Chain A
Amino acid sequence: MKTIRLLLCLAAASPLMSCTHVKPWERGHLADYTMRPARDPLTDSISEHVWFTREAFAGGRGVGGGGCGCN
């Protein structure tokens, strides 16, 4: 029983070991153009239009800007 509890504790703690904070000054790679989920503004606006037409609302696709978390 003791061993099982200990193993459970270790299993619960294990994800924390892989957690790391990307510092604001290390976000160069995240802000890169290639990190954007969609890179074609025209396709974006077309799908946004289709979305709006079908669902009667728009937006909610995340915040503005790249992945740099600036401002």
Chain B
Amino acid sequence: MNRRTFIHSTSALLGSLAAAVSTSSFAAWRQGMALPDLSAFGLEGTLPKLKGKVVYLDFWASWCAPCKASFPVLNGWQQQLAGKGFTVLAVSVDETAQAMQGFLKKNSVSFPVVRDAEHKLVAAADVSTMPSSFLIDRKGGVRLAHTGFHAKDAAPLEAQIKSLLAES
């Protein structure tokens, strides 16, 4: 190995290390792209009809405290806006159905919940934190990607949902 090869291989090594460290974009699903067909991801549970609806797609897990905090807010939106063509779709990433059911027993909700048992959908979305949510318009396009959940996020998200509902 001559000096040039040594330098090249060392820089390639450092480059791959840097690439491994800097893979922290927020999510693979971005504003403007179409929501993929959810029936192709082997989700457990019954998928609701989403066509023509504004959808708040929420990735959550029973072990995630902010997800727990978000559920009453999401449930409130569902009860208030379901009649206007809105639905929350909660996608659990729990490893066992038992963990999910245990959580739902304590935190009962009126919106549909499915489980991404094989983590195919969440891997496709490639979210950077739990919970992560996506707001889908009536035409099936991703309009907003949101990360985490704080109480202060509720009002701006609700305003966004209502403005999407107002679109034809």
What is A's interface to B at a CB cutoff of 8 Å?
2, 5-6, 9, 12-13, 16, 19, 21, 23-28, 31-32, 65-66, 68-71
* Shortest CB distance B18–A (Å): 12
* Shortest CB distance A48–B (Å): 21
Interface size class of B (residues with CB under 8 A): 20 to 34
The A interface is mostly helix, strand or loop, or mixed, namely loop
Residue contact B1 to A5, C-beta cutoff 8 Å: yes
Given contact pairs A25-B119, A65-B65, a sample of 12 additional A-B residue pairs in the complex whose CB atoms are under 8 Å apart: A9-B6, A16-B17, A24-B127, A24-B128, A24-B132, A25-B93, A27-B130, A66-B63, A68-B63, A68-B65, A71-B129, A71-B148
Query: Is B34 located at the chain interface by the 8 A CB criterion?
Result: no
Partner of B6, one of A5, A16, A69: A5
Residue contact B63 to A21, C-beta cutoff 8 Å: no
Residue contact A16 to B20, C-beta cutoff 8 Å: yes
Residue contact A28 to B61, C-beta cutoff 8 Å: yes
- Bound complex: CA A2 to CA B95 (Å): 48
Contact residues in A for B127 (Cβ distance below 8 Å) = 24-25
- Bound complex: CA A32 to CA B94 (Å): 12
A71 with B66, Cβ < 8 A, contacts A5-B6, A6-B1, A25-B59 known: yes
- Bound complex: CA A27 to CA B123 (Å): 14
Query: Is B149 located at the chain interface by the 8 A CB criterion?
Result: yes
